[in-house]
Amino acid sequence: MQPAHKSVEAEFSAAKAGLGVWVRALRLPHWIKNTLVFVAPLLGIQALTVHAGIDAVVLFLALGMLASGTYIINDLLDLAADRQHPVKRFRPIASGQISLSAALGAASALILVAGAVSVLLPLSSSISLLAYLLLTVCYSLWLKHIAMADVMVLAGLFTLRVAAGGMLLPTPLSPWLLTFSMLFFLGLAIIKRYAELERVLRKNSDTGRARGYGAPDLPILLATGIASGISAVVIFTIYLISEQYPRHFYANPAVLWGITPILLIWTLRAWHLSVHGKMNEDPVMFAVRDHVSLTMGAVVLAILLVAWI
């Protein structure tokens, strides 16, 4: 007969971690977010050199290792809360499948290797990686508990990925691209918070809270998130109207207008799903698995290709 009281260590007894467990702990599927480093090189492909292309791949790998290391740090900092969470308690570290010492060692090794790899990159991109690390640690320690500041940081981390890739090119970073990125990903970050809060409120009525947000914040998140997404589309439209695009990059720039309705439809659809409780808490990972989103993404790539040729 088991004792009525079990220690936390006993409840979350460790089993030897296999490859699948480490894949979950390192959030390897989330490396898809780091493909944002290729956005600027692809948009400016005429200015892309072989060396810059190789640097982009190196940056992607360094950022992936850095992100995985910071994911582990975040899980270590959230260990007590995760072990009380109905879903997060099954994460590899919270469940004890990976020991605390192994997790800390893996995080340290990943961050150190990422730092070593970054010396192969231009100084500006290396500094971007350092900024990503510092901002992520600040987020895990403090900023994620501050309503509205947390979503700004998440949008900034996405935009930092785009900026790091843009720094590999000889051309200056486009303020249009950075502004669009910040607004678009701010909208996605707010969708994530809205979905989390909506799920909590559905289970706990008006008493639930999620990441510092409560029931009164739901309409604020909805309004701010939709405004951010629409603002990103407006920025893109003004970019086309003002003919700010590099003329020598696009043979058929008028074709780019086809991207505008796709962005608008995707944004409104994402919020429609969120309001109806059908959005995954991470809209980026949702989009990767959503056939409609993948089809829209393929159409956007096709439009860009036609514009280039």
The string of pLDDT tens digits covering residues 162-198 is 999 988 888 888 899 999 999 999 999 999 999 988 8
The string of pLDDT tens digits covering residues 34-81 is 999 999 888 876 666 788 889 999 999 999 999 999 999 988 988 887
Average pLDDT over residues 84-96: 80
Q: Is the pLDDT of residue 221 over 60?
A: yes
Half-sphere exposure of 91 (CA within 13 A, CB side): 24
**Mean pLDDT across the chain:** 87
Give the tokens for residue 29. Answer: 């599927």
CA nearest neighbour of 248 among 43, 10, 30: 43
Give this prediction's pTM.
0.88
- Name the helix (H) or strand (E) containing 153: helix 149-166
DSSP 74: H
264 neighbors 258 (Cβ within 8 angstroms): no
Average pLDDT over residues 13-41: 83
194 neighbors 66 (Cβ within 8 angstroms): no
Q: Is the pLDDT of residue 205 over 70?
A: no
Average pLDDT over residues 71-100: 84
The string of pLDDT tens digits covering residues 63-73 is 999 999 999 99
Q: Is the pLDDT of residue 14 over 70?
A: no
pLDDT at 247: 67
151 neighbors 186 (Cβ within 8 angstroms): yes
Contacts of 98 (CB under 8 A, 6+ apart): 14, 17, 21, 22, 25, 92, 106
Q: How far is CA 110 from the centre of its chain?
A: 19
DSSP 213: B
Query: Where do the domains of the chain lie?
Result: 14-167, 174-309
Report which of residues 138 and 247 the model is more confident about: 138
Beta bridge mates, 168: none
CA dihedral over 121, 122, 125, 126, signed as positive or negative: positive
- Say if domain 14-167 classifies as CATH 3.30.300.30: no
Beta bridge mates, 210: 213
Give the tokens for residue 66. Answer: 């850095």
Half-sphere exposure of 178 (CA within 13 A, CB side): 12
Give dist(CA 117, CA 153) in Å, integer.
25
Average pLDDT over residues 208-220: 82
114 neighbors 129 (Cβ within 8 angstroms): yes
Give dist(CA 83, CA 10) in Å, integer.
12
Contacts of 158 (CB under 8 A, 6+ apart): 33, 36, 181, 185, 188, 189
Burial 223-252 (b: 16+ CB within 10 A, else e): ebbbebbbbbbebbeebbeeeebeeeebee
pLDDT at 2: 44
